[in-house]
Structure 1
Amino acid sequence: MPVLTRLIPSPLVVDINAGALDDLAGLLHDQRISHSGKLAVAISGGSGQRLRERLSPALPGATWYEVGGGTLDDAIKLADAMKSGHYDAVVGLGGGKIIDCAKFAAARIGLPLVAVATNLSHDGLCSPVATLDNDAGRGSYGVPNPIAVVIDLDVIRQAPIRFVRSGVGDAISNISAVADWELAHRVKGEDIDGLAAAMARQAGEAVLRHPGNCEDDGFLTVLAEGLVLTGISMSVAGDSRPASGACHEINHAFDLLFPKRAASHGEQCGLGAAFATHLRGDKETADLMVRVLRRHGLPVLPTEIGFQEDEFVQAVEFAPQTRPGRYTILEHLDLSTDQIRDAYADYVQAIHSAEAHAG
């Protein structure tokens, strides 16, 4: 008899609401993640220390580890420090760098990870990947999904709003990434996982079409849910394909070519997604992306994050080299330098025309 269903790797619990941190100890106990209360908690030196003061009374059995940064060496040092502690679980409490270090360390010592996000800057909080800086630049390391994800909206609102905006750009870029995946399926016969694609696309669409702003609880909830679902979609697919296409290739190109000037991950991915969608000829979606990115205070032109036209053209030309073997609209069109420059001019004109019409 054929197998009629499949198991999907996903967190045991996802708690997204205002005040979620107030019951972190109870959640870990009730979900049988930690009966003894012996936890290894990875935190940053800034906001992490303030949260430690708040949470320590409720977590008397926890040992707190300050993470120096977001490098592979930092993650290995964290694992080495934790491995003799006989803990029930590792808690990563912080932003992307802290959670990625905690993911890697937990995997290295064979413990489950609880991801407690203090900002919503990107979709890595629930993904099966730890992105860490190394001697060669930056690497992606496969790790298990978090066993639990806790997002306290009160804490999210305390972080600089640029982190929420970055998450918006990353979530919206899913729509472009899935379109690239479907293109690779049509042209190259690449396998596509319909469930993973549906999860990633709907997460992006929910953020794209929500009328709220970056300070509304309703919008923050949808964004947080979208980022969690995107992480699970990558687990379903077995790689980053549902959330990474030409948009992320352009982002990686900015990071590699201009490492000291690069903007946030989500700003670059949102801009890359809008341009890639324009290249696909999907004017309606590209126009909507631009309007929504603008409404949330995100860039739609490279000049808005300090890059000139020639630098953007250079990044787009270099982008396919960042993910060898990945087929997107950039590989499909295989544009020359002059063709990229012409396409960018068309993109700018389309934005100006749409804004003039709207005004």
Structure 2
Amino acid sequence: MPLLARMITAPLVVEVRRGALAELGTILADQRISTSGRVAIAVGSTYGPTVQEAFAGGLAGADWFSVRGGTINAAIQLVEQVRSQRYDAIVGVGGGTVLDVTKFAAARLGLPMVAVATNLAHDGIASPISTLDNDAGRGSYGVPAPIAVLVDLNLIAQAPPRSVRSGIGEIVSNLSAIADWEAAHALRGEEIDGLAVSLARTAAQAVMNHPGGILEDSFLATLAEGLVLSGISMVVAGTSRPSSGACHEISHAIDLLHPERRGYHGEQVGLGAAFAWFLRGDLDRFHATVDCLHRHELPVRPSDLGFSLEEFAAIVDYAPQTRPGRITVLEESSLTPARIADKVAAFNDHAYARISSDGAAMPEGVVLD
């Protein structure tokens, strides 16, 4: 009888715990990624010196490279530096910028990539996507997913709290992205992958339902594992669909229209997800999303991101242009500028009411339509 199953590309190892970084050499050897320790290690300016000091007596065969900025040029520069020698693998140690640059370089060099995350700002830890700034603004590039993922909670605890909270917004937005994908499947016949949906949804629900916060190891581990699962869901689907819908279109529009004012990616997509739920008329999901974002001190209104209602309305109007061909609630709603302005104003009122008095009452005269 034939084996009716599919092969799924997944990391050889995922380590989420305190002290994981110290085991890097052992993991590389045990998993046959590099038995000699002959690897290129890319680090950023924040944790670079700390990481190098930690391995002063180990990984003697490694060479160290500094990543300067999250641009396509920085990634190409890393490629040119690393290709002058032979390595078993390339290791990225840092936040999203360092990991995205390293993933792109690994793809160009044909080397396996190991991701060592020092913050939890977004789901690029294990994703097959590298997001880099280019001459046109910001682009997403398909790359092989990391072959191994390490998250050292000692380093995560030292990261700026805002960056960790950003990861919460990123993972919470999965549920809105899935709703967009399911609607596109039902209304337009777009192919959908149930396993990818299950992974992305499970990751988001685990974080949303966790009672803890960013000062607790159990919550950080749940968030880290959720972000890894979210990345793997994109590998399974062969697309960013499980975690990218209207929420991400809104974030991309902010990046393109207001590059000097863009915040953390997860902050933007979290608010974008709340707006998307409101636009769908799903008050239960809207309330749950706003409650989660507010509890973790993330933005819930345009002003929290530094935008007026008029500016946010223009962002929503532009958002569908950032992903031509992708169908989300923004495209399906066929909103006119006047209608967008009305929706943004109503969304703002509802969000304010929800975070005031524990969401016990809506402002008088506000009606969800």
- TM bucket normalised to smaller: over 0.9
Instruction: Give the conservation status (yes or no) of the 8 Å contact 2:301–2:351.
Output: no
The residue aligned with 1:176 is 176
Question: Identity over aligned residues, as a percent?
Answer: 55
For 1:351 and 1:96, the matched residues in 2 are separated by 29
Residues 7-26 of structure 1 aligned to structure 2 (within 5 Å): 7-26=7-26
For residue 71 of structure 1, report the CA deviation from its aligned partner. Answer: 1.1
For 2:120 and 2:242, the matched residues in 1 are separated by 19
The residue aligned with 1:283 is 283
Instruction: Give the conservation status (yes or no) of the 8 Å contact 2:302–2:348.
Output: no
Amino acid at match of 1:269: V
The residue aligned with 1:132 is 132
Q: Which string of whole-angstrom CA distances, capped at 9 and with x for unpartnered residues, describes residues 75-130 of structure 1?
A: 11111111132111100011111111111111111110000000000001111111
For residue 3 of structure 1, report the CA deviation from its aligned partner. Answer: 5.0
Instruction: Give the conservation status (yes or no) of the 8 Å contact 2:126–2:231.
Output: yes
For 2:247 and 2:178, the matched residues in 1 are separated by 11
SS in 2 for 1:56: coil
For 1:203 and 1:110, the matched residues in 2 are separated by 30
For 1:3 and 1:265, the matched residues in 2 are separated by 41
Q: Which string of whole-angstrom CA distances, capped at 9 and with x for unpartnered residues, describes residues 165-217 of structure 1?
A: 11000000000000000010111110101111111111111111111001110
The residue aligned with 2:357 is 356
Q: Which string of whole-angstrom CA distances, capped at 9 and with x for unpartnered residues, describes residues 138-189 of structure 1?
A: 2211111111000000100101001101100000000000000001011111
For 2:126 and 2:352, the matched residues in 1 are separated by 37
Amino acid at match of 1:67: V
The residue aligned with 2:305 is 305
Amino acid at match of 1:284: D
The residue aligned with 2:155 is 155
What is the TM-score normalised by the length of structure 1? 0.97
For 2:301 and 2:346, the matched residues in 1 are separated by 12
For 1:27 and 1:51, the matched residues in 2 are separated by 16
For 1:272 and 1:148, the matched residues in 2 are separated by 31
For 1:316 and 1:324, the matched residues in 2 are separated by 14
Number of aligned residue pairs: 359
For residue 15 of structure 1, report the CA deviation from its aligned partner. Answer: 0.3
Instruction: Give the conservation status (yes or no) of the 8 Å contact 2:40–2:64.
Output: yes
Q: Which is worse superposed, 29-38 or 338-347?
A: 338-347
Q: Which string of whole-angstrom CA distances, capped at 9 and with x for unpartnered residues, describes residues 12-47 of structure 1?
A: 000000111121111111111111110100011232
The residue aligned with 1:314 is 314
For residue 352 of structure 1, report the CA deviation from its aligned partner. Answer: 3.5
Residues 231-242 of structure 1 aligned to structure 2 (within 5 Å): 231-242=231-242
Q: Which string of whole-angstrom CA distances, capped at 9 and with x for unpartnered residues, describes residues 223-274 of structure 1?
A: 0011000111001111111110000000001111111011110010000000
The residue aligned with 2:363 is none
Q: Which is worse superposed, 202-211 or 307-316?
A: 202-211
The residue aligned with 1:84 is 84
For 2:243 and 2:352, the matched residues in 1 are separated by 28
Residues 113-128 of structure 1 aligned to structure 2 (within 5 Å): 113-128=113-128
For 2:325 and 2:92, the matched residues in 1 are separated by 33
What is the TM-score normalised by the length of structure 2? 0.95
The residue aligned with 1:273 is 273
Amino acid at match of 2:357: A
For residue 56 of structure 1, report the CA deviation from its aligned partner. Answer: 2.8
Q: Which is worse superposed, 177-186 or 333-342?
A: 333-342
For residue 358 of structure 1, report the CA deviation from its aligned partner. Answer: 4.2
The residue aligned with 1:213 is 213
Structure 1: state its 5+ residue gaps.
none
The residue aligned with 1:44 is 44
The residue aligned with 1:98 is 98
Residues 236-251 of structure 1 aligned to structure 2 (within 5 Å): 236-251=236-251
Alignment of 1:63 with 2:44, yes or no, is no
Amino acid at match of 1:310: E
For residue 305 of structure 1, report the CA deviation from its aligned partner. Answer: 1.6
For 1:130 and 1:87, the matched residues in 2 are separated by 21
For residue 357 of structure 1, report the CA deviation from its aligned partner. Answer: 5.3
Structure 2: state its 5+ residue gaps.
361-369
For residue 342 of structure 1, report the CA deviation from its aligned partner. Answer: 1.4
Q: Which is worse superposed, 132-141 or 171-180?
A: 132-141
The residue aligned with 1:252 is 252
For residue 9 of structure 1, report the CA deviation from its aligned partner. Answer: 1.1
SS in 1 for 2:335: coil
